[in-house]
Structure 1
Amino acid sequence: MIRIAGFASLALLVATSAFAQQADQPLLTGKDAFGDWKADKPGVRRLIKPQDLQAPFVTESASNGPGVAERPEGANPVVLPGFTAELIASGIANPRVVRVAPNGDLFVANSKDDEIRVYRLGKGSAKPVQKAIFASNLSRPYGIAFYPPGDKPQWVYIANTDSVVRFAYRDGDLKASGEAETIVSDIPSGGHWTRDIAFSADGKTLYVSVGSRSNVAEGTGKEPRGGLDAWAKSMPPGAAWGREGGRADVLAFDADGKNGRIVATGLRNCSGMTVQPATGALWCVVNERDGLGDNVPFEYATSVKDGAFYGWPWYYIGANEDPRHKGARPDLAGSVTLPDVLMQAHSAPLNITFYDGGNFPAEYKGDAFVALHGSWNRGVRTGYKVVRLKFKDGKPTGEYQDFITGFVISNDSVWGRPVGVAVAKDGALILTEDANGTMWRITHADGPS
């Protein structure tokens, strides 16, 4: 890591404090919505529509990975006036998904250490009163779900990169009492390795996301064995083959792992899933492909419709053909489902949660928060923040707003890369970031402690 000098740290804190004083901003649309980290601050609002999409290769494909710096002394995430960010923990090797148990415990996937950690916070506090390793010897764990949904789950399901396992669970367990039971085996591994999971509201369906192996199905060959026509007739729309077979999909199983099926295809990397409380709809946030330029294509959040095809690898954001697969699948051009909320290209959304807590102001109820990890494939970086997706009567407006920023230090370095978001039992928003391995509790001053 890069060590930031005291002067730079002070400058960062002064600048980010000034940003925090600005709440709601004018709605940015069209090209005006294509900003970068310097224009990001809590309250900035964006609305991106399909017609705003640029042609591919308007800019070169950048290679601009972030230099990870140590968190400057005293630096906190920057939030809107009235909100506070408090540090829960630091020095975690690779905190990714965070999920909240019915009793309020925070379950965190520490993926590179192959373990699930548990943090129990004091009432109205960010300070852990207990912490433990719930399970270890896993395989790059990521998604976490409690089953059955509700107040008294009997199992904790964990998505490894190549399987889904579960551990017996009783309310308040800090350590698994038994061995892992494999529920779904032989999930394709490698490539995009993150596997998220979620249960339907009635607990009857286990959803599993499997990202693509490659950027845009390079090396799969022009046609599957047996010919394209036969493949298209036997598989869901847009399904790829070869080493991409069974990938870029959302799968569904019974709770015991049986009766697997494909729900939706063409989702390059649905790295975060959740079920919307108001409607019961499954939602994904998706990392789109690289190599087409700074602003192409848009990342997105979307409800996942059964039988839908979202474009990858042949098309993106509707019937926009990827030039690297020109003419390969003209039969699919009219069958691409448009996503619900478009976000800036190369923001790298990793997780999503709907706000159903009681700590934030009432207007946040029913909105969603998305953690943007930031990507290497943009000339001037964007992402590295948490955004709020606006909903009205359970439906997305398409607008999103910067909610937490302050993780980027300069054009060359960042101290934080947001990954996991979850709503705590007391209504606080919990955030993980994996650059410095920290976890945060965000609360509002007017809410209950």
Structure 2
Amino acid sequence: MKRTLLLALAATSALAVAASAQESTSSRTLEKLEGFKSAGTAEPPPVAQTGRRADAIARNLTKIKLPAGFKISLFAIVPDARQMAIGPSAGVIFVGTRKTKVYVVTDRDKDRVADEVKEFVPGIAFKVPNGVCFSKDGILYIAEQNRILGFPAAEFFYENPDVAAAVVVKQGDLIPVDEESFNHTARYCRIGPDNKLYVTLGEPFNVPTKDKIDLYNKVGMAGIVRMDQTGANREIFASGVRNSVGLDFSPVDRTLWFTDNQVDGMGDDQPPGELNHAISPGQNFGFPWFGGGTVRTVEYKDETPPRGVVPPVVELPPHAADLGMTFYTARMFPAKYRGGIFTAEHGSWNRSRPVGARIMFIPVRADGTAGPAEPFAEGWLSPDNEYFGRPVDVAVMQDGSMLVSDDSVGAIYRIDYSDE
């Protein structure tokens, strides 16, 4: 027993030393890339796109139900695929994960199937690089658990394992280091119509204790922050947001819409998830006084909520975990879907009978109000409660088709439409 314990301690110590060495190497690599110098990084092999795994994923996609005229296919195998960012010039796709890597996906021959999937900047040790987003002029931003990096012209220099980089928010400055956690650390980012960088900052608790509220209000946790693309002039755009992992801007009035995940442990059927609409900066969306919708949390039921709390514009299925979202602004899909919102339901994790694992559609009317959510693509959750996949994000390609990421299967799917 004693020998086993000593061996375990030795292994843990070795892992810590290795992790420290990797972090040190990563820091040196980043310094060189900031100075437009090569770090001599070796390029890992690309991710295999064919074989037994790809065939199995394709077979499982036959279970997915879609409206008439739509079809779904395997676009790429991408381990742990989360938020996607499609380059504004060449349509190269960058994919964040909740682990340590970011991937780049290319379809050079434009046959609507990926030709190559490989690591992006493999010399940098990322930490939960979930958030990836592009500026209009082609700068790729990667929002990690506690850092934001920028990569100018990433779409054109990704072939090299060493890519020019810039630190937008240095490590430890996005949130207080003491608030780092394994829970609710997946940031989501977008560049707004004001050319500012918007980043979601989930807080680590199911419901935070009251002594945390002032700190979170100060730094923007349990909210959404925005800043210049240089990282300057940071401000809290929205508060009272438990854990948003999806946002987009209306193509009509350029206001911000975002999903939010509700409090756990209040029963299978409450509280609801949320689709929210922020029409101006400084609005409060109710958490932790409300666990979702108008349902009060046990911990704050005797506390007076802030004045002017904004309720969700659409209440979503409880515990379905709506994450990524996008307005559909292309023309491939029928008119019904144009201007509406697609969201990715990741699926419940602690409900007695699972729900979710679907792509939902929410119509947005001309006056800016939204209709109820309806299933668009479903079948990743079997009648026997087995997950065949867990959608995370949705993105619209240049041809109008839609990509869906799945971190459980480790894949990206493509949904297109034809009326023939």
Q: What TM-score do the two structures reach when normalised by structure 2?
A: 0.78
8 Å contact kept, 1:275–1:281? yes
State the Cα deviation string for residues 223-262 of structure 1 (Å, max 9, x = none). 47xxxxxxxxxxxxxx553799641110011111011111
User: Equivalent residue for 1:278?
Assistant: 252
Provide the rounded CA distance (Å) in 2 between the counterparts of 1:308 and 1:175: 42
8 Å contact kept, 1:381–1:411? no
State the Cα deviation string for residues 66-113 of structure 1 (Å, max 9, x = none). xxxx957712132112111011123x3200011211222221113324
Aligned positions, number: 352
Structure 1 position 402, deviation (Å): 0.5
Pairing 1:24-39 to 2, within 5 Å after superposition? none
Are the structure 2 counterparts of residues 256 and 367 from structure 1 closer, same or farther at C-alpha, using a change threshold of 3 Å? same
8 Å contact kept, 2:79–2:411? no
Alignment partner for residue 213 of structure 1, among 200, 204, 219? 204
Provide the rounded CA distance (Å) in 1 between the counterparts of 2:58 and 2:260: 33
8 Å contact kept, 1:287–1:348? yes
Alignment partner for residue 375 of structure 1, among 348, 351, 359? 348
Provide the rounded CA distance (Å) in 2 between the counterparts of 1:267 and 1:277: 23
Alignment partner for residue 249 of structure 1, among 213, 220, 223? 223
Are the structure 2 counterparts of residues 254 and 194 from structure 1 closer, same or farther at C-alpha, using a change threshold of 3 Å? same
Provide the rounded CA distance (Å) in 2 between the counterparts of 1:276 and 1:248: 22
User: Equivalent residue for 1:324?
Assistant: 299
Aligned residue type for 2:189: I
Q: In angstroms, what is the RMSD of aligned CA positions? A: 2.4
Alignment partner for residue 366 of structure 2, among 393, 409, 429? 393
Please tell me whether residue 181 in structure 1 is matched to residue 154 in structure 2. no
Provide the rounded CA distance (Å) in 1 between the counterparts of 2:155 and 2:186: 27
8 Å contact kept, 1:131–1:174? no
Please tell me whether residue 308 in structure 1 is matched to residue 283 in structure 2. yes
8 Å contact kept, 1:419–1:433? yes
Provide the rounded CA distance (Å) in 2 between the counterparts of 1:362 and 1:422: 18
Provide the rounded CA distance (Å) in 1 between the counterparts of 2:254 and 2:85: 18
Are the structure 2 counterparts of residues 93 and 312 from structure 1 closer, same or farther at C-alpha, using a change threshold of 3 Å? same
Pairing 1:106-117 to 2, within 5 Å after superposition? 106-117=93-104
SS in 2 for 1:440: strand
User: Equivalent residue for 1:351?
Assistant: 324
Greater helix share, structure number: 2
User: Equivalent residue for 1:266?
Assistant: 240
Provide the rounded CA distance (Å) in 1 between the counterparts of 2:404 and 2:301: 40
Q: Which is bigger in relative contact order (C-alpha 8 A, separation at least 6)? A: 1
State the Cα deviation string for residues 320-359 of structure 1 (Å, max 9, x = none). 43122232x3152x43211111101101011001111121
Aligned residue type for 1:166: G
User: Equivalent residue for 2:130?
Assistant: 142
Pairing 1:45-444 to 2, within 5 Å after superposition? 74-76=59-61, 77-90=64-77, 92-102=78-88, 103-120=90-107, 122-123=109-110, 125-136=111-122, 137-147=125-135, 149=136, 152-153=137-138, 155-169=139-153, 171-175=155-159, 178-185=163-170, 186-188=173-175, 189-190=180-181, 191-203=183-195, 205-217=196-208, 220=209, 222-223=210-211, 239-241=213-215, 246-304=220-278, 305-317=280-292, 320-327=295-302, 329-330=303-304, 332=306, 334-393=307-366, 395-444=368-417
State the Cα deviation string for residues 16-57 of structure 1 (Å, max 9, x = none). xxxxxxxxxxxxxxxxxxxxxxxxxxxxxxxxxxxxxxxxxx
8 Å contact kept, 2:223–2:236? yes
Are the structure 2 counterparts of residues 319 and 386 from structure 1 closer, same or farther at C-alpha, using a change threshold of 3 Å? closer
Are the structure 2 counterparts of residues 394 and 174 from structure 1 closer, same or farther at C-alpha, using a change threshold of 3 Å? farther
Greater strand share, structure number: 1
Aligned residue type for 1:377: N
Percent of residue pairs bearing the same amino acid type: 28
SS in 2 for 1:289: coil
8 Å contact kept, 1:210–1:249? yes
Aligned residue type for 1:325: Y
Aligned residue type for 1:312: F
Q: What TM-score do the two structures reach when normalised by structure 1?
A: 0.73
State the Cα deviation string for residues 186-245 of structure 1 (Å, max 9, x = none). 223322011111111241x1111100111011xx3x447xxxxxxxxxxxxxx5537996
User: Equivalent residue for 2:30?
Assistant: none
SS in 2 for 1:398: coil
Aligned residue type for 2:197: L
Structure 1 position 115, deviation (Å): 2.1
SS in 2 for 1:420: strand
Are the structure 2 counterparts of residues 180 and 116 from structure 1 closer, same or farther at C-alpha, using a change threshold of 3 Å? farther
SS in 2 for 1:187: coil
Provide the rounded CA distance (Å) in 1 between the counterparts of 2:234 and 2:261: 24
Provide the rounded CA distance (Å) in 2 between the counterparts of 1:365 and 1:297: 30
Structure 1 position 285, deviation (Å): 0.9
Aligned residue type for 1:211: G
Aligned residue type for 1:266: G
State the Cα deviation string for residues 284-314 of structure 1 (Å, max 9, x = none). 1111110111111110111224111111112
State the Cα deviation string for residues 398-425 of structure 1 (Å, max 9, x = none). 3111001110124342110000100000
Q: Which stretch of structure 1 is more off in the superposition, 161-170 or 264-273? A: 161-170
Uncovered stretches (5+) of structure 1, i.e. residues with no partner: 1-69, 225-238
